[in-house]
Chain A
Amino acid sequence: MKTKLIDKTTRAYLAISLTVLLVSIPFFYVTVENLWIEDVDDSLLFQKEKIRDGIEQNNLSTEDINSYIRLAAQIDDGVRIKQLQSIAKESDSIYYNNAYDSIRGHVEPFRELCAYLYINDIPYQITLQRDLVESEDLVWGIILLELAIFTLLISLTLFISIRYFRRIWNPFYEITNQLKHLNLHEKGELNAVDCKEIAEFEDLKTSVNELIHRNYIIFQSQKEFAENAAHEMQTPLAVIKSQVSMLTDMDMNEKQLQHLFSIDRNVKHQSHLVKGLLLLSKLENNQFILADNVAVAHVINSCYELVKEELELCHIPFEIDIRCQTILAKSNLMLFTTLLNGLLNNSIKHGATPNTLTITLDKNQLQLSNQGKDTALDETKIFHRFYKEEADASGTGLGLSIVSQIGSVLGYTIKYTFTAPNIHTFTILFRA
């Protein structure tokens, strides 16, 4: 199953969008969180400076500081100050620390600043805490918002592209549709297609039209050739045939009549040959429209009706076994009848005596068997033009090649099988 154009583009578009979305989420998360932590760190450092400045500017005594330390510890608002004996490490450090939040009642992530400083020459360690619950909320909020915007964007773009797809690609679909149903018998160009909007489609239409026109001219000239050839070749034969006919009316003796009838027979042979070759050339040029619904059982019966009396006279039993009322859509009744007659002709002419014809129709195939020679025919040759089993055969040698050519025009496969002792079977497979 081939993908449709719109599915293909939509799929590619969706894949790219989703990839970008998935890659962007962690990236976005990390970036936003880093920015937030930087902010938190800045604010912790700033708080530290404010505490120091506050103590220094107000000239607080060591007792005041100690009571502040005590109060801060009691209030527990994230500020802890501890007096040290000495400072081993002077630089500030900022780090994550999970701590129990007494208000929320569980452990929460915190960002902590640990700074060392001298106030009134006494070393202190200040620890400032800021919880990160808000930051997580913010980050999640941002990510959800991003997702929402992204989804909205994708679905809107998809909606618009699908909606406009039809309109934009309409000329393309119309051109392909017209090509599918193009009938060179009727016209050599496409019906008007509005391609003004898109330059590529205008180009396509022009090129397709040129191509069709060239094909139309070739098709028509071949058709004309076949018709003119028929006229030019059959008319003289018609003259000969009618002149012979006139001559037979004059008092002729047996010898003279024999000559005349021999002319008549050969003219008939010649005209069959011309007819067969012209039919082959028409088949090669696809001059037949496949638009009939052929009821195969009906065709079999009407072909049989035509030769019923002769089959009886010649003592050839004809068994018809119709197991399925097969109807072939998009076929050509005239060609199908010619095909069946061709096979019938072959089975009767090359049949043994006695001969029994059996025709079997199934849903997917039609089989015609007859009794003939004891050896199989050469399957590689029987469908060739002018191939004859016997050198003196009266036929044109075109019968089976016409059958095979019609088969290929109608899209059927024609098979030959031999079953011992002498059954020759031709099978038309309707689904090639």
Chain B
Amino acid sequence: MKILIVEDNIDLCQTISSYMVALDYVCEVANRYDEALQKIALYDYDCILLDITLPGGGSGLDLLNELAKHNKQDCVIIISAKDSLEDKILGLELGADDYLTKPFHLEELAIRVFSVVRRKLFKGGNSIQYQQLRINLLEKSCRYNNETVPQLSSKEFSLLLLFITSPHRIITKESIAEHLLGDNADMFDNFDCIYAHVKNLKKKLRQAGCTDYIKSIYGMGYKFDN
């Protein structure tokens, strides 16, 4: 999988890049509009992470226009600090596949990239496998060693996907809350909702014989590992 990161902040580019490389993606970086334009003209990428505000003669939205003009099928996720609905709508209209508002957690980015690429390249209808755990994305069901895991709730299912797309990494409760609840993430700050979600997910996985995949890290976060 080849990813192009178009972002003017070099530090952010590097972190995203090293994170995605750790997840077995191949990453290239463009810090300027003209640089990005050159790259998309020369190569095909599976996914482009695109900032809207760019130096070098154009914006991310112009780049989307260029992609459409060249009939490029690359997946595009806009990563922008502009939390404006118009930009979001305009971006999606111009052919972007998703819109992620800065600042974001890297595991959130990972799952967005995964979903977008899967939808576009594998036409959505397939399942993913993590060791003996097999997840059917259409039915939102899950099997472990041919043993069916009891039906997961929709939040439990998206929690499992978040874990699977960022394995071996500590995922904070904040990050999980933001993934599950979006803007409402801090609504349940006073309750240990995330703990309850994880506990329920673990319980269902255990019923199918899948144990010890989700580890609690000092009560601050979780890690999907074995």
Task: Produce 1/0 per residue, A282-293, CB < 8 A to B.
Answer: 100001000000
Q: Is the CB of B187 within 8 A of A238?
A: no
Q: Is the CB of A309 within 8 A of B154?
A: yes
Which of A237, A245, A278, A307 is close to B184, meaning CB atoms less than 8 Å apart?
A307
What is the minimal beta-carbon distance from A269 to any residue of chain B, in angstroms?
A: 9
- Return chain A residues, CB-CB under 8 Å to B196: 313-314
Q: Is the CB of B19 within 8 A of A246?
A: yes
B134-154, CB < 8 A from A: 153-154
What is the minimal beta-carbon distance from B201 to any residue of chain A, in angstroms?
A: 12
How many Å lie between the Cα of A243 and that of B17 in the bound state? 12
Q: Is the CB of B81 within 8 A of A257?
A: no
How many Å lie between the Cα of A121 and that of B196 in the bound state? 145
How many Å lie between the Cα of A394 and that of B84 in the bound state? 25
> Known contacts A349-B187, A349-B190: does B81 contact A234 (CB below 8 Å)?
yes
- Return chain B residues, CB-CB under 8 Å to A378: none
- Return chain A residues, CB-CB under 8 Å to B101: 234
B9 interface residue, CB < 8 Å from A? yes
A23 interface residue, CB < 8 Å from B? no
Stretch at the interface among B32-40, B62-70, B168-176, B205-213: B168-176
- Return chain B residues, CB-CB under 8 Å to A279: 83
Q: Is the CB of A245 within 8 A of B102?
A: no
Task: Produce 1/0 per residue, B156-174, CB < 8 A to A.
Answer: 0000000000000110101
A154 interface residue, CB < 8 Å from B? no
Which of A245, A278, A348 is close to B187, meaning CB atoms less than 8 Å apart?
A348
How many Å lie between the Cα of A138 and that of B16 in the bound state? 106
Q: Is the CB of B170 within 8 A of A310?
A: no
Q: Is the CB of A239 within 8 A of B53?
A: no
A207-237, CB < 8 A from B: 227-228, 230-237
Residue ID in chain B nearest A249 by CB atoms: B169
Which of B9, B84, B187 is close to A239, meaning CB atoms less than 8 Å apart?
B9
Looking at chain B's contact residues, is the secondary structure mostly helix, strand, loop, or mixed?
helix
> Known contacts A234-B103, A309-B154: does B186 contact A239 (CB below 8 Å)?
no
What is the minimal beta-carbon distance from B105 to any residue of chain A, in angstroms?
A: 6
What is the total of A-B residue contacts with beta carbons within 8 Å?
A: 137
> Known contacts A254-B218, A268-B174, A278-B83: does B12 contact A238 (CB below 8 Å)?
yes
How many Å lie between the Cα of A264 and that of B220 in the bound state? 11
Which of A232, A245, A287 has the most chain B CB atoms inside 10 A of its CB? Answer: A245
Task: Produce 1/0 per residue, B79-110, CB < 8 A to A.
Answer: 01111111000000000000001111111000
Which of A261, A265, A313, A395 has the most chain B CB atoms inside 10 A of its CB? Answer: A313
- Return chain A residues, CB-CB under 8 Å to B11: 239, 243
How many Å lie between the Cα of A271 and that of B81 in the bound state? 10
- Return chain B residues, CB-CB under 8 Å to A232: 81
How many Å lie between the Cα of A306 and that of B180 in the bound state? 9
Residue ID in chain B nearest A395 by CB atoms: B186
Q: Is the CB of A309 within 8 A of B155?
A: yes
Residue ID in chain B nearest A314 by CB atoms: B191
A205 interface residue, CB < 8 Å from B? no
Q: Is the CB of A344 within 8 A of B187?
A: yes
Which of A278, A287, A345 has the most chain B CB atoms inside 10 A of its CB? Answer: A345
Size range of the chain A interface in the assembly:
35 or more
Which of A234, A278, A287, A348 is close to B102, meaning CB atoms less than 8 Å apart?
A234
Q: Is the CB of A257 within 8 A of B189?
A: no
Q: Is the CB of A242 within 8 A of B12?
A: yes
- Return chain A residues, CB-CB under 8 Å to B180: 310
What is the minimal beta-carbon distance from B163 to any residue of chain A, in angstroms?
A: 15
How many Å lie between the Cα of A282 and that of B18 in the bound state? 35
> Known contacts A234-B102, A239-B15: does B172 contact A261 (CB below 8 Å)?
yes
B197 interface residue, CB < 8 Å from A? yes
Q: Is the CB of B9 within 8 A of A235?
A: yes
Q: Is the CB of A310 within 8 A of B187?
A: yes
B193 interface residue, CB < 8 Å from A? yes
Which of B106, B189, B200 is close to A394, meaning CB atoms less than 8 Å apart?
B189
- Return chain A residues, CB-CB under 8 Å to B187: 307, 310, 341, 344-345, 348-349
> Known contacts A242-B15, A345-B186, A345-B187: does B153 contact A309 (CB below 8 Å)?
yes
A376 interface residue, CB < 8 Å from B? no
11 further A-B contacts with Cβ under 8 Å, apart from A234-B101, A395-B186, are A231-B82, A234-B81, A235-B81, A257-B218, A261-B221, A268-B174, A275-B83, A278-B83, A307-B181, A313-B197, A345-B186
Q: Which residues of B contact A (CB under 8 A)?
A: 9, 11-12, 15-16, 18-19, 22, 53, 80-86, 101-107, 153-155, 169-170, 172, 174, 178, 180-184, 186-191, 193, 196-197, 200, 217-218, 220-221
Q: Which residues of A contact B (CB under 8 A)?
A: 185, 227-228, 230-243, 245-246, 248-249, 254, 257-258, 261, 264-265, 267-268, 271-272, 275, 278-279, 282, 287, 306-307, 309-310, 313-314, 334, 338, 341, 344-345, 348-349, 394-395
A-B contact pairs, 13 of them (CB 8 A): A185-B86, A232-B81, A233-B81, A234-B103, A238-B81, A241-B103, A242-B106, A243-B11, A249-B169, A249-B170, A261-B220, A272-B186, A313-B200
